[in-house]
Amino acid sequence: MTWIIFDLVEWLTLTRDGVLEADNVKLRTLFVVPHAAERDFFHGVNFEFSYNQQHWNPSRFSGEIRPIIGACFGPLDLIFNPILDYDFTSIGSFDFAPSRRLAYNFSPLWAVAAEYYADYGRISHFADTAHQEQSLFAVVDYDWEPLNVEFGIGHGFTAASDKVVIKLILTHNF
């Protein structure tokens, strides 16, 4: 049996001028083995389809294929996502943007994590180092039904990365 989760996500940016801008709206579908939190090894895949504002992404429509590969070692979770982004412009427009997460679960409700995000560019030709994005986040998760909260502060390590990013993800599963 597989769990299937659908959700709708809207991304917002607070600009330096104090303006709140809508960036995109995503429809996400997650297929994952049931009771993943209770397994030593888990896997799944997440599909996303986005409608983007021009200031956020020059491509009006984009998608993401996010394989999920994870392992639990007691209270530690290690998760790898070899993500492929797609902007629907051509067959060769897949972009490799992997992420990794190491989390410590204090309880079923609370966890802290280090998350690493990268974007190496098109699979057909990776970008040079100056144009790759690489960021590291410190994250706190609170998993309480009906609302899950993820808050993180990230720092970019390359010229193409944002220097500081604050993320707040509020999730409600239906």
Q: Are strands 41-52 and 164-171 parallel, antiparallel or unpaired?
A: unpaired
Q: Which parts of 15-138 fold into alpha helices (H)?
A: none
Along the 174 residues of the chain, how does pLDDT read in single tens digits?
344 455 555 566 666 677 777 777 778 888 888 887 788 999 999 998 888 887 777 788 889 999 999 999 999 999 999 999 998 887 778 999 999 999 999 998 999 999 999 999 999 889 998 899 999 999 999 988 788 888 999 998 998 888 888 888 777 666
Sort strands 110-119 and 99-105 into parallel, antiparallel or unpaired. Answer: antiparallel
Q: Which CATH class is domain 3-171?
A: mainly beta
pTM recorded for the entire structure:
0.84
Q: Is the peptide bond before 98 cis (omega within 30 degrees of 0)?
A: no
> Which among 102, 121, 83, 105 is positioned nearest to 38, based on CA atoms?
105
3-state SS assignment for residue 131: helix
